[in-house]
Structure 1
Amino acid sequence: MAAMRRPFRPPTPANVCSRWLHLVTGGMVAVVALFIRPEPGGHGPLELVRAALLSVPPLVLLGLVPVVRLAEGLQARLMLVPGRPSPHRDARRAELTAAPSASAADLARTVCWLVLRVQTGALTLSASVWLPLQTVRLAGRGDGYALLAPLPLLGLAAVVVGAGALVAAAARWLLAPSAAERIAALEERTERLMEHNRLARELHDSIGHALTAVVVQAGAARAAGSAAFTGQALAAIEETGRRALEELEGVLEVLREDSPQPRDRPALTDAARLLDAARGAGAEVTAEVSGPLESVAGPVSREGYRILQEALTNVVRHAGPVPVTVRIAVHGGTVELDIRNRLGDAGPVSGSGRGLRGIRERARLLGGRAEAGPDAGSWRVHARLPAAVG
């Protein structure tokens, strides 16, 4: 119902002017036809309309050229929906195609649009020339005819507004994106949303981990009261902040340039930096790595790194300086991550947090699985991922 009511909204001056120009531009095709094949009656309004009818066969041939649909769609977006970009205008412009014809139905609609645009444009152009002349003639006759002089101008305004509304409504049907184009646009939007969600997880994991490590290290340095320990903590804080800035720059580069992935994203082969950061925050980390980490597929290795990062961040944040056992194993076409730590004084970590949900989502998107929860007096995060992605 909203789409049906839209053509009947009160037009703005910008809409009226741009639609009139769009119509008159189409009507110029009839003017060209009139001069190529003059009508016996001269160049009057009726002759212009007849010339527009004679232009139908060439318009049919022109509409069968696929790129014409692209050109007409871009013109319609610019002239029928004028104004600066806004959510409302963007939605209305999205109703008009911006792609060449890809099917017989697209070609047929393009032909109908060209014929409608030229015929309506010829009528509008005739009215734009003939009706103002009638106003001048009535005003020049004197007597009571001068009182009728505004009527042709009112008629012209009605023709321009009505014809503009007609072509705007017709464009939303004849120049509407095809089903295949709508599906492609929906898939593109879905991919963009998935990319935004992935970037949000990247920021949560990398920056959240860095801030947690910095806070814990700074607190430990203040409590220790040792110049040597404070120096080590400050060095660790500096290194953690530098790495966080590098990762943040990579994520921002994706947002700025729309590149496929952040540059230099860390992978499981860089797990040592996570273990060192956790040790710097006071955790007693024991690590066991087996299997060829470099053979793991890039997406799996990068997501595995983020899973390990989130697990260690949770240990530092919720359990404090407790013993942690990390096992990373590559065997039988799978990557296994197992992180265990003794439960701290704060008790078990809630399994409904955003970080733990992110761990499960990462594993599930790769075709693996991840679990987190208490296990024999310890908190355990266990993930099993495929070493290769299909």
Structure 2
Amino acid sequence: MRGGLSRLLGARARLRWVHLILGGALLMPYFLLAQVGAGLATGGQNAFSSFPLTLATYAAALPLASATSVFGLVRPLSVTAVRAMCGVPGEQLAEGPARSWAARGRTSAWWTLHLGVGAVISGMSLAVPPMAVVLITLPFVSGLRDAMLGLGWFSTAASPYAAPLLGTGLLAGLVLCAAGAGALLARLAPVLLGPTAADRLAAAEERAADLAVRNRLARELHDAVGHALSAVTLQASAARRVLERDPDFVREALAAIEDTTRRTVGELDAVLGLLRDGDASRPDAAPAPTLAADLDGLLARTRAAGASVTAHQDPGPVGDWARLPAIASREAYRIVQEGLSNALRHGAGPVELRIRVHGGAETGHRELEITMTNPPAPPEGREPRTTGGRGLRGAAERAALLGGRVEAGPHEDRWRLRAVLPLAGGNR
């Protein structure tokens, strides 16, 4: 019993009733416009002067409402109202304007149904309660029985006490109609306002773009902060070991630590600024280190950590690292940085780095090739080295964004990281 009353008069049922009345209010401008046409067609007769003319005007207003529902804001407004008032889960409803004619047609059907049914329930909500009150109070107010109310045999003295039953029935019928119409619209909302295939595709593309941005920021944080922590740890450890016997090396290591932390704080501030400003989708939204400007400093800081690094650089047909496409220069720097971080953490012995550009105008295809090799660490006391780390996976993602590839693994008794990045276009 209580559950039935809740479905008829509970908070959700009352909100759906308000939603229907809102639809009736939205139909009024169309009804008034149709009334003008009805007045011209009938020689100035008022649409409310007869019930058939009222129905005809109502029927003429619905196509007008349907025609205006193709505008883009109709579906977002309808979805917002349904989500707030009809108790329909948000994931069952589409976001944003309709993107196809099929979606516009479904939106038009919903708009017409909402306004049409809402107008009927609104009219009943205005007319039924006063009539029901008169009928319920009719036996107790003699003035109502004597008045010309058009109530027929209920206004006679013979049977006035049957009027309250009819009044109560009218109120119950109004509640049932409002609850039934609200439940019907709530059931049809996911069908008519739910996402289409185009909406799902657009949502998937948006999620993919958001995930790409998040992955890019994660790579930047990992490469910048992770490398800096590894380098600083090794630099401090090397300085501690020779603190008494090699003060010049200690000063050099401390200077490298200072430079590394200062640069890393700047990069971290830039990435956090992107997160705060919501501008992370732009690949050039924050300054990033490049081969041309920052490779020498990276090598110097790595050597200050005690690592022996031999670098062979051959710009090839480009002639100068500054002439590389900017995005390729940025991603190449990060790949070199990740390779050096891995060599510092997991390797043993000297690191050999080769960076070269091969190909040219005669082939129409140029590539930037990065090869880094170093002896692997002894297996005693260490986990087996794999290619599943976040840094190497991030390097592979960076290369894939440019159409390139990264290979990492044992090669001729050494550990090798090799990246190939296609070069297209000029500086950008």
| TM-score normalised by length of structure 2 | 0.75
Corresponding letter in the other structure for 1:353: G
Conserved in 2, the CA contact under 8 Å of 1:49 and 1:123?
no
Report how many aligned residue pairs link the two structures.
Answer: 372
Conserved in 2, the CA contact under 8 Å of 1:23 and 1:124?
no
- 1:55 paired with 2:57, answer no
Distance 1:338 1:171, change over 3 A: same
Q: Distance in 2 between matches of 1:150 and 1:265?
A: 76
- 1:167 paired with 2:185, answer yes
Distance 1:159 1:255, change over 3 A: farther
Corresponding letter in the other structure for 1:368: G
Deviation (angstroms), 1:283: 0.5
- 1:255 paired with 2:275, answer yes
Aligned match for 1:376, one of 376, 394, 412: 412
DSSP-derived class of the 2:73 partner:
helix
Residue equivalent to 1:221: 239
Deviation (angstroms), 1:30: 6.0
Question: Percent of pairs identical after alignment?
Answer: 36
Corresponding letter in the other structure for 1:172: P
Aligned match for 1:276, one of 300, 311, 334: 300
Deviation (angstroms), 1:100: 5.2
Residue equivalent to 2:146: none
Q: Distance in 1 between matches of 2:301 and 2:172?
A: 78
DSSP-derived class of the 2:264 partner:
helix
Residue equivalent to 2:96: 98
Deviation (angstroms), 1:49: 4.5
Stretch deviating more after TM superposition (274-283 or 108-117): 108-117
Corresponding letter in the other structure for 2:311: A
DSSP-derived class of the 1:55 partner:
helix
Q: Distance in 2 between matches of 1:89 and 1:174?
A: 14
Distance 1:44 1:313, change over 3 A: farther
Conserved in 2, the CA contact under 8 Å of 1:18 and 1:82?
no
DSSP-derived class of the 1:12 partner:
helix
Corresponding letter in the other structure for 2:368: V
Deviation (angstroms), 1:98: 2.3
Highest CA radius of gyration, 1 or 2? 2
Aligned match for 2:350, one of 305, 323, 328: 323
DSSP-derived class of the 2:84 partner:
coil
Deviation (angstroms), 1:148: 6.0
Stretch deviating more after TM superposition (359-368 or 280-289): 359-368
Q: How does 1:132-171 map to 2 (within 5 A)?
A: 132-142=129-139, 143=161, 145-146=163-164, 149-171=167-189
Deviation (angstroms), 1:330: 1.3
Q: Distance in 2 between matches of 1:24 and 1:11?
A: 20
Corresponding letter in the other structure for 2:295: A
Residue equivalent to 2:362: none
Deviation (angstroms), 1:78: 2.1
Distance 1:43 1:294, change over 3 A: farther
Conserved in 2, the CA contact under 8 Å of 1:22 and 1:80?
no
Q: Distance in 1 between matches of 2:220 and 2:254?
A: 25
Conserved in 2, the CA contact under 8 Å of 1:48 and 1:126?
no
Distance 1:215 1:160, change over 3 A: farther
Residue equivalent to 2:142: none
Q: Distance in 1 between matches of 2:34 and 2:132?
A: 25
- 1:265 paired with 2:288, answer yes
Q: Distance in 1 between matches of 2:350 and 2:47?
A: 100
Deviation (angstroms), 1:296: 2.5
- 1:343 paired with 2:343, answer no
DSSP-derived class of the 1:81 partner:
helix
Q: CA RMSD in A?
A: 3.3
Q: Distance in 2 between matches of 1:17 and 1:296?
A: 65
- 1:307 paired with 2:335, answer yes
DSSP-derived class of the 1:344 partner:
coil
- Which sections of structure 2, spanning at least 5 residues, go unmatched? 1-6, 40-44, 140-160, 360-365
Q: Distance in 2 between matches of 1:199 and 1:102?
A: 34
Stretch deviating more after TM superposition (341-350 or 308-317): 341-350
| TM-score normalised by length of structure 1 | 0.82
Corresponding letter in the other structure for 1:263: A
- 1:242 paired with 2:262, answer yes
Distance 1:365 1:75, change over 3 A: closer
DSSP-derived class of the 1:82 partner:
helix
Residue equivalent to 2:211: 193
Distance 1:141 1:200, change over 3 A: same
